[in-house]
């Protein structure tokens, strides 16, 4: 095992070149937990949503939105997020589209600081039913 938590494998290739393969553990930049609350699912996020961690979030949300018994509402709690890149925003938009396709409500909560400003400046806040300090987005259609 190497220092990153992955397992390194080395072997000599046909041309005498050593090839090292490292199993990379899931991103530690983002912690994702999902709790069932009645018919709803609450996705709690903590850390940073960036190009390295957004695929983990995407996989978790897609799995949640493809289950046999879909939640009535998916609530994504962003109060523990210190940073979000456009890759994370794109992941949330994709999940919103999937949720709407399945007639599942999709809400963001806990947006604040730079993350809230990013959603406001880009005009994306209006796409989501986003709760922060009691305000709610207008829920415009995503196509």
Identify the pLDDT of residue 131: 62
Q: What is the chain's mean pLDDT, rounded?
A: 79
Q: Is residue 41 part of a domain?
A: yes
Residue 81 is assigned to a structural domain of this protein:
yes
For range 24-39, the mean pLDDT: 80
**Position 42 in a domain:** yes
Has residue 108 been placed in a domain? yes
Cα–Cα distances in angstroms (integers) from residue 102 to residues 20, 54, 80, 92, 124, in the given order = 43, 22, 27, 15, 21
Could you tell me if residue 4 is inside a domain?
no
Q: What is the mean pLDDT of residues 113-122?
A: 90
Classify residue 21: in a domain, yes or no.
Answer: no
The confidence score (pLDDT) of residue 64 equals 95
Whether the pLDDT of residue 71 is over 70: the answer is yes
* Residue range of the domain that includes 55: 27-131
**pLDDT for 48-60, tens place per residue?**
999 999 999 999 9
What is the value of pTM for the model shown?
0.72
Answer yes or no: is 1 within a domain.
no
Structure confidence at residue 17 (pLDDT): 57
Residue 132 pLDDT greater than 90, yes or no: no
CATH number of 51's domain: 3.30.750.24
* Phi (first) and psi of residue 49, to 5 degrees: -105, 105
Please give the tally of structural domains in the chain. 1
pLDDT at site 136? 37
pLDDT at 11 over 90: no
Q: How confident is the model at residue 45 (pLDDT cuts 50, 70, 90)?
A: very high
The band of 28, judged by pLDDT with boundaries at 50, 70 and 90, is: low
Q: Could you tell me how far CA 84 lies from the centroid of its own chain? A: 10
Residue 88 zone, left/alpha/beta (φ > 0; ψ -120 to 50; rest):
alpha
């Amino acid at each position: 095992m190497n220092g990153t938590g992955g397992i390194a494998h080395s072997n000599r290739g046909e041309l005498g070149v050593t090839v090292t393969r490292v199993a990379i553990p899931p991103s530690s930049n983002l912690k994702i937990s999902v709790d069932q609350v009645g018919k709803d699912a609450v996705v709690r996020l903590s850390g940073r949503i960036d190009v390295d961690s957004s695929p983990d979030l995407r996989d978790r949300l897609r799995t949640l939105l493809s289950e046999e018994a879909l939640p009535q509402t998916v609530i994504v709690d962003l109060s523990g997020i210190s940073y979000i890149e456009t890759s994370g925003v794109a992941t949330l938009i994709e999940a919103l589209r999937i949720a709407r396709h399945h007639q599942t409500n999709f809400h963001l909560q806990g947006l604040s600081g730079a993350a809230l400003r990013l959603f406001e400046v880009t005009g994306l806040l209006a796409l989501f039913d986003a709760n922060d300090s009691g305000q709610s987005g207008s829920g415009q259609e995503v196509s």
